[in-house]
């Protein structure tokens, strides 16, 4: 029994390290005023993802789920853009980063199912596929900080308890909006 407890505590520490490896570069980039320049194709992908995330935010907020059909539609649209506007190597790299993202966050979701749902994992993979790893880290960092602030406020005013599940798609939408705004401002 002790070996199981030790293994679980090691998994928790490893998941914190993995999450920290995503947040620290994004925070450093944002705080140091890093330039976010989306090219024509990435801006088109960001706009598709933003519109899709508006819909997913509404569904996630009201029903606590992210529909697979919407994610597949977004994947198909972004794939057509990637195929038409980018080189095969860029398309392959985007796919590899999306697979890596789904493996990392899927692993976290498997061990902490109440912390991160599989719909969020698939949404992260789609955002990573559409934007690339650097912009994905910015979106994830902004979304996580916004979710943290909202959750803290809700806890402080005693509207929710620690067991409350916060829908994350609205915060991903906020992260995409910040990315688009930062890109247009630079």
Query: pTM, whole model, 2 decimals?
Result: 0.78
Widest CA span of the chain, in angstroms? 55
Measured in degrees and rounded to the nearest 5, phi and psi for residue 164 equal -70, 135
Q: Which tens digits make up the pLDDT trace of 3-12?
A: 545 444 554 5
Q: Which tens digits make up the pLDDT trace of 24-68?
A: 454 445 444 555 556 777 888 999 999 999 999 999 999 999 999
Cα angle at 171 between 8 and 77, to 5 degrees? 100
Domain count along the chain: 1
Where in the sequence is the domain holding 174, given as residue range(s)?
2-185
Nearest-angstrom CA–CA distance, 117 and 33: 31
pLDDT above 70 coverage of the chain, percent:
78
Q: Which tens digits make up the pLDDT trace of 155-165?
A: 888 877 777 78
Nearest-angstrom CA–CA distance, 126 and 164: 26
Instruction: Answer yes or no: is pLDDT of 93 > 80.
Output: yes
Q: 104, 120 in Cβ contact below 8 A?
A: no
pLDDT at 19: 47
pLDDT band of residue 136 (cuts 50, 70, 90) is very high
Q: Which tens digits make up the pLDDT trace of 101-125?
A: 999 999 999 998 888 999 999 999 9
Instruction: For residue 152, give the H/E element and its range.
Output: helix 133-156
């Amino acid at each position: 029994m002790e070996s199981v407890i030790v293994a679980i505590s090691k998994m928790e520490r490893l998941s914190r390290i993995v999450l920290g490896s995503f947040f620290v570069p994004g925070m450093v980039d944002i705080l140091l005023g890093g330039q976010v320049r989306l090219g024509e194709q990435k801006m088109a992908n960001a706009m598709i993802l933003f519109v899709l995330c508006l819909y997913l935010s509404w569904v996630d907020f009201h029903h606590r789920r992210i529909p697979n059909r919407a994610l597949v539609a977004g994947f198909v649209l972004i794939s057509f853009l990637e195929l038409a506007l980018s080189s095969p190597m860029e398309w392959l790299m985007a796919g590899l980063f999306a697979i890596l993202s789904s493996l990392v966050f899927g692993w976290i979701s498997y061990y902490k199912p109440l912390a991160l749902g599989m719909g969020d994992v698939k949404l992260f993979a789609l955002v990573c596929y559409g934007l690339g790893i650097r912009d994905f880290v910015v979106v994830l960092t902004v979304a996580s900080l916004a979710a943290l602030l909202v959750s803290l406020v809700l806890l402080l005013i005693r509207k929710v308890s620690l067991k409350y599940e916060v829908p994350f798609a609205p915060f991903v939408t906020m992260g995409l909006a910040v990315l688009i705004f930062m890109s247009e401002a630079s």
